[in-house]
Amino acid sequence: MAILVDLKQVSARRSDRTVFEELALTVRDGDRIGVVGINGTGKSTLLRLVAGVEPPETGRVLRGRGVRVGYLEQEPELARGRVRDAVDAGWEGDAALERLGMGRRSDADVAELSGGQAKRVALAAVLARPAELLVLDEPTNHLDLGAVAWLEVQLLGRPGGLVLVSHDRHLLDRCTTRMLELDRGRGYVHEGGYASYLEARAEREELAVSAERSRRNLARRELAWLRRGAPARTRKPQARIDAATRVVEGRAEPPARAGELALGFRTPRLGDKVVEMAGVAFAYDAAGPLVLAEVDLVLDPRERLGVVGANGTGKSTLLDLVCARRAPTAGTVQVGRTVVCGYYDQKSAELDPAARVRDLVAGPTRAPGAPEDVALMERFWFTGELPFARVGTLSGGERRRLQLLLVLAGRPNLLVLDEPTNDLDLDTLRILEDFLEDWPGALVVVSHDRTFLDRVTERLVAVDETGRVAAVPGGVAGWVEQVTRRDGAASAPVAGSVSPVRPAAQRGSPRAGGPVTPAGSPRRRQPDVEQGSPSTIAYRLRQVEKDLARLARRRDELVEAMRGLVDHVELARVGSDLAAAQASLDEAEERWIALAELAEAAKG
């Protein structure tokens, strides 16, 4: 296959450290390469080298003759003018804008766009133009689930090469055939998708532990040899002495991060009332259209609520109402007296780029460098020179981690997360998921990340184009199937022809997000109830019993409603609702059985 880009011994450095050194990477026609690594390892820097927007500090980057590159940077800057002009790709550009939720704004001035909207316009421009190599830095940021499903089809259907940085594990495992892991200045290539990378990384870490154990055993023997008296040492070969000294003085390679991300915070106890919304409507302008309408929503003290919906339907506005950042235009929002809301929103870019990390953590009332602040920063991996770094020099993921630190430092008991997975590295994301599973307070999260939603939420609501909020039957899998069917995500790519590349999921590799059908539609996940103490399991069991009673009543109401109906349109509608209700009831019954078995095991 033709070589598109060939990196030979390239290096990149920051003021305080080497990002990577003497890295080699060859991208050929047909390659699908996912790039992973913790924040600050140089993923975005590597993509800029591959795309040719900056030269390497050392080494060479060779390019195939006539190779066109479509590059999406993490924070793109658009040329002045209209959205349509920024894409400038005819009907293909219009189609991409429509699929990415920007069709209605094609005549808008790019200066009026938010950061997320600008990212979608830039992605539309890249996908609509012909290119032999796509280089995409976090393309799913600011996309709703329907757009992510459509993007997946585009990437699978394009010929040429792909180099991709993403936190979306489902997308990585579906669309990549190789993974490049950046770790402590080196690159490791793993064949297969995301699941294959996890297996290879675990094996490498086990080998490192074994090698360090062998080094220590050898060091003990060499130290004993060196200590056999000064007279004897004078007759020992100097080369052997030097080698023994190196073994004894050797150290294991330090971890990429010091310790684990410690998120175990004490939170104020929640009362019985958290948030209750009744008949809520909201409009930004009294004479303007409603963004939300007829919203009835009740959160309980152990709420695990996911919010989904297309971009622009009012999900972030709903979160603002939950946290009392905005007052409703109509209806009532009652917030419990004990509620302390921590809001993790999409505005990390609004942190003052000139501010230092330690100053932001100290806040306006304390002097920087207090011991409790230093300890808090260390728990979030802000060590070494990072506490003194200015926000503008941090990577996108480091800024998001700083924002999470600032939110949790307020000790909230209601945690509201708006697109929390954007820019976080995969290690941080997995630890955040573990933390949220045992979070003692209430949780409300807006996210497009299927794996994340599946792990941390127990019920899902959708905000539709009319601003109404409704429960989603079938959970995450049901919502993905619904938006895929509605948006026609299986349509042909907007540019190029079908690629013969087989995605990881079709090659039989394990999937990070669960099994899929051959057509790519997620199947129902087996109940994931292994985590939690006996009291947590008992609580979840009671909640599922309530859900069973509610769902059974709903099913019985629909069965009763079907009796006597003769209109075929109404019969079809009620029948569809009945099928969805029965599916939700079946899923709840499976969860109840699994929890009941765990509860019995805990007793015995």
Token representation of residue 12: 């990149």
Does residue 411 sit within a domain? yes
Residue 565: is its pLDDT beyond 70? no
Strands (E), 365-452: 414-418, 442-446
Highest mean pLDDT among 364-368, 385-389, 564-568: 385-389
284 shares a domain with 242: no
Which residue in 325, 382, 324, 327 sits closest to 357, CA to CA?
382
User: Which CATH number fits the domain that encloses residue 384?
Assistant: 3.40.50.300
Q: With beta carbons less than 8 A apart as the criterion, state whether 157 and 150 touch.
A: no
Rounded to whole angstroms, the Cα distance separating 314 from 327 reads 14
Q: With beta carbons less than 8 A apart as the criterion, state whether 179 and 192 touch.
A: yes
> Which of 211-225, 264-278, 440-454, 537-551 bottoms out in mean pLDDT, i.e. has the lowest?
211-225
Structural domain count of the chain: 3
The single-letter DSSP state of residue 363 is T
465 shares a domain with 367: yes
Per-residue model confidence as pLDDT tens digits over 136-161: 999 998 888 888 888 998 998 888 99
**Residue at which a domain ends, from 188, 215, 249:** 249
pTM above 0.75, yes or no: no
Q: With beta carbons less than 8 A apart as the criterion, state whether 387 and 374 touch.
A: yes
Does residue 269 sit within a domain? no
422 shares a domain with 363: yes
Element (H, E) at 8: strand 3-13
Per-residue model confidence as pLDDT tens digits over 428-444: 788 788 878 878 889 99
Rounded to whole angstroms, the Cα distance separating 416 from 407 reads 10
pLDDT confidence tier of residue 223, bands split at 50, 70 and 90: low
**Residue at which a domain ends, from 491, 506, 521:** 506
Average pLDDT for 198-209: 70
Rounded to whole angstroms, the Cα distance separating 164 from 179 reads 9
Provide the edge-to-edge strand list for the sheet that holds 178-183. 69-72, 133-137, 161-165, 32-36, 178-183, 186-191
Highest mean pLDDT among 185-199, 200-214, 363-377, 437-451: 437-451
Q: Is 51 helix (H, G, I), strand (E, B) or coil?
A: helix
Q: How buried is 323 (Cβ within 10 angstroms: 0-12 exposed, 13-18 middle, 19+ buried)?
A: buried
- pLDDT at res. 524: 39
CA 304 to chain CA mean position, Å: 17
Per-residue model confidence as pLDDT tens digits over 432-488: 888 788 788 899 999 988 888 988 998 999 998 899 999 988 888 888 778 777 665
Rounded to whole angstroms, the Cα distance separating 292 from 466 reads 7
- pLDDT at res. 489: 45
Does residue 399 sit within a domain? yes
457 shares a domain with 380: yes
Residue 169: is its pLDDT beyond 90? no
Q: With beta carbons less than 8 A apart as the criterion, state whether 504 and 174 touch.
A: yes
571 shares a domain with 450: no
Which residue in 428, 388, 383, 385 sits closest to 404, CA to CA?
428
The single-letter DSSP state of residue 80 is S
> Which of 14-18, 316-320, 325-329, 433-437 bottoms out in mean pLDDT, i.e. has the lowest?
14-18
pLDDT confidence tier of residue 584, bands split at 50, 70 and 90: confident
Residue with tokens 């905000």: 463
pLDDT confidence tier of residue 134, bands split at 50, 70 and 90: very high
Angle 334-338-343 from CA coordinates, rounded to 5° = 75
Rounded to whole angstroms, the Cα distance separating 112 from 105 reads 10
Does residue 479 sit within a domain? yes
Alpha-carbon dihedral angle through residues 156, 79, 449, 508, given to the nearest 10 degrees: 20
Q: With beta carbons less than 8 A apart as the criterion, state whether 368 and 362 touch.
A: yes
Residue 229: is its pLDDT beyond 70? no
Per-residue model confidence as pLDDT tens digits over 373-383: 888 788 777 88
Rounded to whole angstroms, the Cα distance separating 117 from 377 reads 32
- pLDDT at res. 514: 34
More confident residue, 168 or 348: 168
DSSP string, 202-267: HHHHHHHHHHHHHHHHHHHHHHHHHTS-HHHHHTS-HHHHHHHHHHHH--PPPPSSSS--------
Provide the edge-to-edge strand list for the sheet that holds 3-13. 18-28, 3-13, 58-63
Which residue in 270, 425, 404 sits closest to 336, CA to CA?
270
542 shares a domain with 502: no
Residue 237: is its pLDDT beyond 70? no
547 shares a domain with 500: no
Q: How buried is 574 (Cβ within 10 angstroms: 0-12 exposed, 13-18 middle, 19+ buried)?
A: middle
Cβ burial 454-487 (10 Å sphere, 16+ → b, else e) = bbbbbebbbbeeebbbeebbbbbbbbbebbbeeb
Q: With beta carbons less than 8 A apart as the criterion, state whether 453 and 170 touch.
A: no
Residue 8: is its pLDDT beyond 90? yes
Mean pLDDT (the chain) is 79
Residue with tokens 């929503």: 297
Token representation of residue 379: 């728990």
> Which of 65-74, 384-393, 577-586 bottoms out in mean pLDDT, i.e. has the lowest?
577-586
282 shares a domain with 215: no
493 shares a domain with 558: no
Does residue 312 sit within a domain? yes
265 residue type, one letter = F
Beta partners for residue 63, in sequence order = 5
Does residue 63 sit within a domain? no
Rg (CA), the chain: 27
- pLDDT at res. 149: 85
220 shares a domain with 284: no
Average pLDDT for 544-563: 78
Rounded to whole angstroms, the Cα distance separating 33 from 601 reads 44
Sign of the CA dihedral running 123, 127, 132, 134? positive
Does residue 221 sit within a domain? yes
Average pLDDT for 583-599: 78
363 shares a domain with 497: yes
Distances (CA, A) of 331 to 19, 296, 341, 539: 53, 9, 21, 31
- pLDDT at res. 543: 77
Q: How many CA atoms lie within 13 A of 287 on its CB side?
A: 0
**Which domain, by its residues, includes 598?**
534-603
Q: How many CA atoms lie within 13 A of 358 on its CB side?
A: 16
- pLDDT at res. 493: 56
Residue 490: is its pLDDT beyond 50? no
Residue 261: is its pLDDT beyond 60? no
Portion of the chain with pLDDT greater than 70, in percent: 77
125 residue type, one letter = A
Q: Is 26 helix (H, G, I), strand (E, B) or coil?
A: strand
Q: With beta carbons less than 8 A apart as the criterion, state whether 581 and 473 touch.
A: yes
454 shares a domain with 594: no
- pLDDT at res. 275: 94
Q: With beta carbons less than 8 A apart as the criterion, state whether 351 and 402 touch.
A: yes
Does residue 154 sit within a domain? no
